[in-house]
Amino acid sequence: MSGKIADEILNNPQLLSALADKIYDKLKDEIVIKKLEETIANVKALQEEVKRQGEAISSLQNTVNKHTEAITSLQEAVKKQGEAIQSLQEAVKSLQNTVNKHTEAITSLQEAVKKQGEAIEGLQKAVRKLQRAVMKLSVEVGSFTNRAGKGMERTMLKLYKKALELHGVDPKRVVHGMIKDEEGVIEKGKVFEVDFYETNDYVYVFEIKNLADKGAYDQIIIRKKLFYTKYKDKKIKIFLVANYVDKKVKKKLEEEGVEIIASHIIK
């Protein structure tokens, strides 16, 4: 039965055409509806995507705004730093100028000090030469003093009169005499020349030299021993009167209790 109906439909072109139109219209409507639904769905999906993109763009815009504000703030900070650096550069430049001036002043001062040092060195050399000349003259005068004898000694006592008087000494009473070694303290029987004077309580002994060196020290020690041996009941005061005295000799004599009256101490 079904096969017969199908054959009739197939063999009837008009019926087949009408049937085809009906089916086509129905299929067409279904396709259109389906396409429309798909389109609507796509539109909705597109709207959602646009919405998301809009939100993303808005978020991006906010981020850009924040970055713009940060950049603007950074630019302001950089500007201020630039101004601070410029101010610092000017201060450094000013300081450099000051340092340059000080450097020039120091260099000038160093040159002056160098010249002064050279002048001082030259002066020191001149002083050393002068010292040698004075020493030479002292030795020559010392030799002359030894030859001049009592006259020169008397002159020196007058020259140092005030200093001697401060020590309670009367230069006018000093006499030139002899002392004999009677007990063999140095050499028994030997006679030594001495300048001295005595009072009821004291014996004042003098060694008078232009230049007092080690030789003068030895002579004073000898006379000290002789007088202490001979005048046991009196106090002995020994004086060195000299124009020049060696520093080491002066120290050793002071340790022996000798009073030093001198114009110059030489090293």
pLDDT digits (tens, 9 = 90+) for 82-114: 787 777 778 768 777 776 787 788 888 788 878
Picking from 106, 124, 158, the residue at the C-terminal end of a domain is 106
Task: Identify whether residues 65 and 165 lie together within a single domain.
Answer: no
Picking from 106, 137, 160, the residue at the C-terminal end of a domain is 106
Residue 12 confidence class, pLDDT cut points 50, 70, 90: confident
Give the structural domain span for 221: 149-266
Residue 206: beta bridge partners? 195, 239
Domain assignment present for 125: no
Query: CATH number of the domain that 160 lies in?
Result: 3.40.1350.10
Task: Identify whether residues 95 and 185 lie together within a single domain.
Answer: no
CB 145 within 8 A of CB 151: no
Which of 114-123, 124-133, 146-155, 175-184 has the lowest average pLDDT? 146-155
Domain assignment present for 81: yes
Domain assignment present for 127: no
Task: Identify whether residues 243 and 156 lie together within a single domain.
Answer: yes
Q: What tokens does 149 get?
A: 């004898």
Domain assignment present for 60: yes
Task: Identify whether residues 69 and 155 lie together within a single domain.
Answer: no
* Predicted pLDDT of residue 139: 47
- For 16, 134, 234, the CA distances from 176, given in Å and listed in that order, are 187, 29, 20
Task: Identify whether residues 101 and 169 lie together within a single domain.
Answer: no
pLDDT digits (tens, 9 = 90+) for 142-160: 544 443 455 566 677 777 7
Give me the DSSP letters along 2-60.
HHHHHHHHHH-HHHHHHHHHHHHHHHHHHHHHHHHHHHHHHHHHHHHHHHHHHHHHHHH
Answering whether pTM is above 0.85, one says no
CB 224 within 8 A of CB 236: yes
Q: How many domains does the chain have?
A: 2
Q: Per-residue pLDDT averaged across 25-52, rounded?
A: 75
Domain assignment present for 171: yes
Task: Identify whether residues 68 and 169 lie together within a single domain.
Answer: no
Domain assignment present for 158: yes
Burial zone of 5 (CB within 10 Å; 0-12 exposed, 13-18 middle, 19+ buried): exposed
* Predicted pLDDT of residue 245: 94
Task: Identify whether residues 82 and 173 lie together within a single domain.
Answer: no
Amino acid occupying residue 238:
I
Which letter does DSSP use for residue 199 in this model?
-
Task: Identify whether residues 68 and 157 lie together within a single domain.
Answer: no
Burial zone of 79 (CB within 10 Å; 0-12 exposed, 13-18 middle, 19+ buried): exposed
* Predicted pLDDT of residue 187: 92
Percent of the chain surpassing pLDDT 90 = 31
Domain assignment present for 133: no
Is 206 a residue whose pLDDT tops 80? yes
Q: Give the separation between CA 175 and CA 185, rounded to whole angstroms.
A: 23
Domain assignment present for 136: no
Task: Identify whether residues 157 and 76 lie together within a single domain.
Answer: no
Picking from 77, 106, 135, the residue at the C-terminal end of a domain is 106
* 235-246 vs 191-198, strand pairing mode: unpaired
Q: Give the separation between CA 67 and CA 80, rounded to whole angstroms.
A: 19
